[in-house]
Chain A
Amino acid sequence: MNIKNKLKQISGSWYFLIIILLIYLLLFIFKQDLFSLSLNLFYDIFLKIIPVFVFVFVLMSLINYFITPKFIIKHLKEKGIKKWFFAIIGGILSSGPIYMWYPLLADLKNKGLNYGLIACFLYNRAIKIPLIPLAIIYFSWQYILVLTIVMVIISIIQGILINKLMEVKK
């Protein structure tokens, strides 16, 4: 494999980190006071969040183990108001990149799932249980609780709105 192909395999986020590290290298050479201040702040933030990542890792592993796409898809086929309930729960518990879910949702759409439920499911993906410990560190549990409840309610409103706008009658 040549260097060009190897470079193609490196994701954009690594390039982002390399650029930032190069900026720090330049600071170290030309602006050492700014370099030290920034690095001290980086150290403080890093120490604050590192222990939380252990919780994040454990929660991610548990959700990956118990909640599979098959489990979610099965429950999204429920009828009546239960559908909305499972769209919310499914969205919250689903993991992995969002684009991974598009083909599965498109398949369910062909089988009768309405656009509103898809929107509701995708909106609730924004609520990440494994990341709650980190969010609490920064924003307090009261704030996260209020935000989560508001987001769940708004997800239903978005679902209804999308159904109306798409003129879907289910």
Chain B
Amino acid sequence: MKKAITKAGKGLWKAFPMILGTILLISLISTLIPKSFYTKIFSNNFFFDPILGSLIGSISAGNPITSYIFGGEILNQGVSLLVVTAFLVAWVTVGLIQLPAESVILGKKFALLRNITAFILAILVAIITILIFGVF
């Protein structure tokens, strides 16, 4: 059990600077950028907005804890849940940083196909989730 606790502690400690830095950065950006800025970027288009969300999530990297904090805070800034969902899903399912390692170990074709389909499916997950969530 001690080993499991140490591993968990190490995992959180490793993520700590990124979490702290992200919260500080979000706090600064939220103070600097007015909410109207986000409404200009995202046009409330049901198909275009999640594509943009998925694209931003795909090129972002880091611990999933950071993605929840970032996603939650931009949601508070007025970005739609549809965009945030695509962003969150792409962040954790598309791994551009790990792509070279994945290509070498599991094969280039597999790594490329997996990441491309994950990018497209992040958009689909966002649309389906919001449609179902909207019903309840």
Query: Which residue numbers of A lie inside 8 Å of B, CB to CB?
Result: 11, 13-14, 16-17, 19-21, 23-24, 27, 34, 37-39, 41-42, 45-46, 49, 53, 56-57, 60-62, 64-65, 95-96, 98-99, 102-103, 105-106, 109, 115, 118-119, 122-123, 125-126, 128, 131, 134-135, 137-139, 142-143, 146-147, 150-151, 154, 157-158, 161-162, 165-166
For this complex, 10 residue pairs linking A to B, each with C-beta atoms less than 8 Å apart, are: A13-B14, A17-B24, A45-B73, A102-B106, A122-B93, A123-B93, A139-B68, A154-B125, A154-B128, A162-B117
Q: How far is the CA of A10 from the CA of B60 in the complex (A)?
A: 21
Checking A11, A45, A98, A137 against B98 with a beta-carbon cut-off of 8 angstroms, the contacting residue is A98
Do B109 and A24 touch (CB < 8 A)?
A: no
Encode contact with A along B90-120: 1 for CB under 8 Å, 0 otherwise.
0011010010011001100110011001100
Do B89 and A151 touch (CB < 8 A)?
A: yes
Q: In this complex, what residue of B is CB-closest to A127?
A: B92
Do A17 and B105 touch (CB < 8 A)?
A: no
* Residues of the A chain whose Cβ atoms lie less than 8 Å from the Cβ of B132: 146, 150
Checking B14, B25, B105 against A102 with a beta-carbon cut-off of 8 angstroms, the contacting residue is B105
B59 within 8 Å of A (CB atoms): no
CB of A101, distance to nearest CB on chain B (Å): 10
Do A131 and B27 touch (CB < 8 A)?
A: no
- Report how many A-B pairs have Cβ atoms within 8 Å: 168
CB of B28, distance to nearest CB on chain A (Å): 5
Interface range, B side: 35 or more
* Residues of the A chain whose Cβ atoms lie less than 8 Å from the Cβ of B1: 61, 65
Q: In this complex, what residue of A is CB-closest to B101?
A: A99
Q: In this complex, what residue of A is CB-closest to B76?
A: A138
Checking A61, A119, A135, A151 against B8 with a beta-carbon cut-off of 8 angstroms, the contacting residue is A61
Question: Quick one: given A13-B18, A118-B106, A143-B81, are A57 and B25 in contact (CB under 8 Å)?
Answer: no
B41 within 8 Å of A (CB atoms): no
Do B89 and A139 touch (CB < 8 A)?
A: no
Do A122 and B64 touch (CB < 8 A)?
A: no
Q: How far is the CA of A34 from the CA of B85 in the complex (A)?
A: 30
* Residues of the A chain whose Cβ atoms lie less than 8 Å from the Cβ of B30: 38, 41
A17-B20, A147-B125 given; 13 more Cβ-contact pairs under 8 Å: A38-B28, A57-B8, A61-B4, A61-B8, A65-B3, A105-B105, A106-B105, A119-B110, A134-B69, A146-B129, A146-B132, A150-B128, A161-B117
Do A123 and B118 touch (CB < 8 A)?
A: yes
